[in-house]
Amino acid sequence: MPQAAPDITALVTTFATQLTAAVEQSVATRVRAAVARLTGASFAPAFGSVPKRRGPGRPPKNGFALAAAAKPKKPVSPQVAAARVLTGRYMGLLRTLPKAEQSTIKKLRATKGLQAAISALKTMKAKAAKKAA
């Protein structure tokens, strides 16, 4: 074999040693920064070794932390829940109509109420279904 083999072995050994040292230094810096954050002490790591923490008022990077930080929902009364169900039915039925018919139903809701509008929507939908069949 040529004499290049010992040189390659020395290069690989040097590379592995340098890589191990760099990884150990990075881990040590991150551990020091984490301990400093937990204890409240100030720690100024080398540039680029540990990402800076975001300031107050900015949203977190991931959506999971945002969902965890959301306020708990207040309980809703049965009357409000029923009103929301009726409003959802009204909106769902209203979407199926053309714009001209939507305006007449909106006027009906304003004058006679939500229940009357929903019943009118159901009858219009039934008539449309009979017409299509």
Question: Rounded CA gap, 39 and 33, in Å?
Answer: 10
Domain layout of the chain by residue ranges: 10-47, 79-132
Q: What is the pLDDT along the chain (133 residues), one digit of tens a residue?
A: 455 566 888 888 888 898 898 889 888 888 887 777 777 766 565 555 555 665 666 665 665 555 556 677 789 999 999 999 999 999 999 998 888 889 999 999 999 999 999 999 999 888 888 888 7
Structure tokens at 84: 């929301």
* pTM (two decimals): 0.46
CB 84 within 8 A of CB 111: no
